[in-house]
């Protein structure tokens, strides 16, 4: 049975407001379709957003110690829900949560191979050794593949940072959680040199916006799923910054021009969610405090989220 899980942790982001994203989506739903969420099973996870008011002493991975706490509880929730027979559908604040989601999936299925479809403007392949910002929402995939990319390190993190990072990588006593060959990027278009090195090193395929349009979204989904057919499970992670901010709004932490349209994103997601191996879907990075068009991003995200839920329930 599908279960909606809310994660409001925004301590991985460099801007404030993504913790309000899940409510922005839910309230948009209350306005557009008042009965949509009625009777659905929910869970709200713990966050440590209180640490936003406390100075951090880990500049290479900002607030990594409370983030580890968040990840441990988040991963255990995903693990338990999957074991209990639920299909988690997450509304999360910043994209750091994806690292814990992947960990939870792997903890529930230690012997299974997880394919990850990453629909995002960013690769999120930094580590505390390489990150230009220190924001952990740019690190979940590097953590999941356990590649620190030390050859491209900018600065040695503190001992406390390295200790917490190693615990995040080995969450559930499994590391790595996924193989780089089992990642597919869609709409990634804003990366740094360090991430480009890992993308080339591991030959991670990226379907650019222009390439996806030439192929059609249904063809992209079909090719991705065919390429991941040796995986046992599929996790789809959707960052709303994969969409074009000039078409939707700037209501996300790190908007990047020339992205997908909402209809393209929804078509792609729904085609992926029909796969019988789907084990989890997550939507992240709606930020109503940054929205230049009231709650347009929340409203757009709700339409995509509701369509995704209906697609999953139709199977």
Domain boundaries in the chain? 2-112+124-177+236-257+278-314
User: In angstroms, how far is the first alpha carbon of the chain from the final one?
Assistant: 11
Written as tens digits, the pLDDT of the chain (315 aa) is 999 999 999 999 999 999 999 999 999 999 999 999 999 999 999 999 999 999 999 999 999 999 999 999 999 999 999 999 999 999 999 999 999 999 999 999 999 999 999 999 999 999 999 999 999 999 999 999 999 999 999 899 999 999 999 999 999 999 999 999 999 999 999 999 999 999 999 999 999 999 999 999 999 999 999 999 999 999 999 999 999 999 999 999 999 999 999 999 999 999 999 999 999 999 999 999 999 999 999 999 999 999 999 999 999
* DSSP letter, residue 40: -
Q: Is the CATH number of domain 2-112+124-177+236-257+278-314 3.30.420.40? A: no
CA dist 188 and 256 (Å) reads 10
Q: For the whole prediction, is pTM greater than 0.95? A: yes
* DSSP letter, residue 43: E
The three-class DSSP label of residue 10 is coil
Phi then psi for residue 88, to 5 deg, are -70, 130
């Amino acid at each position: 049975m599908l279960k909606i899980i809310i994660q409001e942790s925004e301590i991985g982001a460099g801007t404030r407001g993504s913790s309000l994203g899940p409510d922005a989506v839910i309230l948009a739903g209350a306005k557009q379709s008042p009965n949509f969420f009625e009777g659905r099973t929910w869970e709200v996870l713990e966050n440590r957003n209180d640490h936003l008011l406390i100075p951090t002493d880990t500049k290479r991975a900002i607030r990594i110690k409370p983030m580890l706490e968040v990840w441990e509880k988040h991963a255990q929730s995903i693990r338990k829900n999957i074991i209990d027979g639920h299909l988690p559908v997450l509304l999360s604040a910043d994209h750091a949560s994806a690292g814990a989601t992947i960990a939870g999936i792997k903890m529930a299925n230690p012997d299974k191979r997880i394919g990850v479809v990453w629909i995002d403007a960013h690769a999120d392949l930094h580590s505390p050794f390489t990150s230009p910002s220190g924001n952990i929402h740019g690190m979940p995939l590097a953590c999941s593949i356990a590649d620190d990319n030390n050859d491209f390190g900018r600065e040695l993190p503190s001992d406390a940072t390295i200790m917490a990072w190693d615990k995040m990588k080995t969450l559930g006593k499994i590391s790595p959680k996924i193989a780089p060959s089992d990642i597919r990027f869609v709409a990634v278009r804003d990366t740094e040199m360090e991430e480009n090195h890992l993308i080339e090193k591991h030959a991670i395929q990226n379907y650019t916006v222009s390439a996806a349009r030439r192929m059609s979204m249904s063809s992209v989904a079909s090719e991705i799923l065919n390429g991941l057919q040796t995986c046992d499970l599929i996790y789809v992670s959707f960052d709303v910054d994969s969409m074009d901010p000039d078409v939707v709004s700037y209501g996300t932490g790190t908007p990047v021009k020339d992205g997908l349209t909402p209809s393209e994103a929804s078509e792609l997601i729904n085609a992926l969610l029909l796969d019988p191996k789907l084990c989890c879907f997550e939507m992240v990075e709606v930020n109503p405090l940054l929205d230049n068009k009231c709650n347009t991003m929340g409203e757009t995200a709700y339409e995509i989220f509701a369509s995704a839920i209906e697609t999953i329930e139709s199977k």
